[in-house]
Amino acid sequence: MRSLRLQLSVFWALLLAVCLLLGVVMLGLYRLSPAMQMKVGRARVEQACEQLAQRYTQSAPPGATLRLDLGRVLLQLVLTEAPYVEGGIWAAEGGMLAYAYPTYEGAGAKTDVPPAERPLLEQLSSQAVDTGRTQTQQVRGSRELLIVAACPLNVGGAAAWTMTRTQLGAVAAEGGLRAGVAALVAAIVFSGLWLGLLLYRGQARLRRLEGALAAAAPDAMPVLPHTGLEELDRIVASYNGFAGRFEEARAAARDAQAQRSRDMRLAALGRMSSAVAHEIRNPIAAMRLKAENALAGDPSAQGRALQTIVGQIDRLDAVVQSLLALVQPLELKPRPVDLPAWLDERLAAATPAAAARQVRLVLAEGAPACAVFDPMHLARAIDNLLDNAVRHARSPGGQVRLAAHGDAARGQLTITVSDDGEGVPEALRSRLFEPFGTGRADGTGLGLALSREVAFAHGGDLRHEPGAPGARFILEMPWQTC
């Protein structure tokens, strides 16, 4: 059990069970205690006396003379069922007429009335005859408590009496036992209430911490409030200290990232400026050379020189257009597109170049039926990837594979272009998507950069993975079903 709440709840339940068990045990001890036996003895004495009177009344008609033989038999029958109770019959005329103690545990049978208690027995019997009601009296001695009961019979001037003894120490211990039971019950109730209060307050503190964490912004570490519990507040203080250090470190990381981005942009700008200067200088040098040769040479060669100059101008125009497309923001116009038909169009556009190099184009099965994106801009990206793959595939007999896959669980559309050529050189992979980052002498390196910008504009990304053999370019973006 790793949950503190569960552990405390189990402990509370266990404490409650132990308390209930102790209560049952204490109640049993109380019932078995001599003090309780004194109460039971008093009830037994009164019950035996009343049974004697009731049975004698049932066996002899009212007003008849006293039948001692019947009284002796009833004494034996009734007192046999009343342990440690002795009894007898008293009459105003004749005194003690019968006595019995059938449950006496001495060496022999006890047949005489204890002389010390005789006056009390005669007095209580006389009161029962006079009042016509059962009389009970308890007499405390130095070591024991004497309990006596007397019940009138239906014969005038006669009464039955019963008597038993209980240890006085047990009677004195009754108050202490009650106080102990009361103290135990109070401790049980206090412990349960205290533990329940601890559980409630602890859960309230944890809920406050959970609420503070849940209300925090996704990219922020909140300052947690103190709970008032020393141990928990130490954790809160440690967390708040860590949160402060984390925010400082994150601010420093943001500054470092911003500086790194500035450095990278400056470095990329420097490389791009150098590449642009190189791309412009070469056509200008070629045009200057052609123009000088035409002016100095045969006039018939001027036409061919002008054609070369126009070709170099077209090359410069292509570079400028690519740069403009790279730096200008893309304005997407997404719409539902029949994806299999759109992929067929991409292969059809790449077919002339693939046929010239004897490269086979393959469209994988399993493409989604429809997707939402900008078909014109995404076509430029995929066409660039296919043109790049056709140029680097094995020739003749190479293969370029185009595949599209939709992941409904992640909401992602993946378009993959792969070839079986020699792959991207290791030295070129770090700047593969940078402008003018190309390994071809006749290339500008803007195609992959443009394709990645299109992926970014759609909320996705374009990445490269080495193939076995060849290269694989994976374009991932959110998939919006039609």
CA dist 265 and 276 (Å) reads: 16
Average pLDDT over residues 159-177: 69
Higher pLDDT, 402 or 233: 402
Does an H or E element contain 472, and which? strand 471-478
Condensed to tens digits (0 to 9), the pLDDT of residues 244-300 reads 888 888 888 888 877 775 666 556 555 555 556 556 666 676 666 766 766 666 666
Task: Report pLDDT for 268.
Answer: 55
CA 368 to chain CA centroid, nearest Å: 39
CA dist 221 and 240 (Å) reads: 9
Task: Report pLDDT for 467.
Answer: 78
Residue type, 40: V
Burial of 164 (0-12, 13-18, 19+ CB in 10 A): buried
Residue 400 clears pLDDT 80, i.e. is over it: yes
- Specify whether the CB–CB gap between 82 and 147 falls below 8 A: no
CA 124 to chain CA centroid, nearest Å: 75
Task: Report pLDDT for 87.
Answer: 94
Residue 210 clears pLDDT 50, i.e. is over it: yes
Phi, psi of 151 (to 5 degrees): -130, 135
Mean pLDDT lowest among 31-40, 162-171, 331-340, 462-471: 31-40
- Residue 354 binned pLDDT confidence (cut-offs 50, 70, 90): very high
- Residue 170 binned pLDDT confidence (cut-offs 50, 70, 90): very low
Task: Report pLDDT for 28.
Answer: 67
Instruction: Give percent of the chain with pLDDT exceeding 70.
Output: 76
Can you give 394-430 as a three-state secondary structure string?
CCCCEEEEEEEEEECCCCEEEEEEEECCCCCCHHHHH
Residue 205 clears pLDDT 70, i.e. is over it: yes
CA dist 101 and 109 (Å) reads: 8
- Specify whether the CB–CB gap between 148 and 162 falls below 8 A: yes
Task: Report pLDDT for 441.
Answer: 46
Peptide bond before 225: cis, by omega within 30 degrees of 0?
no
Q: Which of 399, 323, 313 is nearest to 354 (CA)?
A: 399
Give the mean pLDDT of the chain. Answer: 80
- Specify whether the CB–CB gap between 417 and 359 falls below 8 A: no
Task: Report pLDDT for 453.
Answer: 84
Condensed to tens digits (0 to 9), the pLDDT of residues 31-68 reads 656 667 677 878 889 999 999 988 888 887 766 677 88
Phi, psi of 372 (to 5 degrees): -110, 120
Average pLDDT over residues 229-233: 75
- Specify whether the CB–CB gap between 143 and 173 falls below 8 A: no
Average pLDDT over residues 196-224: 79
CA dist 345 and 404 (Å) reads: 14
Task: Report pLDDT for 1.
Answer: 46
Can you give 62-114 as a three-state secondary structure string?
CCCCCCHHHHHHHHHHHHHCCCCCEEEEEECCCEEEEEECCCCCCCCCCCCCC
- Specify whether the CB–CB gap between 379 and 370 falls below 8 A: no
Task: Report pLDDT for 213.
Answer: 81
Average pLDDT over residues 340-351: 93
- Can you list the domains of the chain with their CATH numbers? 4-173 (3.30.450.20), 222-328 (1.10.287), 330-478 (3.30.565.10)
Hey, which residues does 148 pair with through a beta bridge?
137, 163
Greatest mean pLDDT among 28-37, 245-254, 365-374, 434-443 lies in 365-374
Mean pLDDT lowest among 169-173, 245-249, 291-295, 388-392: 169-173
Dihedral over Cα of 446, 448, 452, 455: its sign: positive
Residue 228 clears pLDDT 70, i.e. is over it: yes
3-state helix, strand, coil in the chain (%, to 5): 60, 15, 25
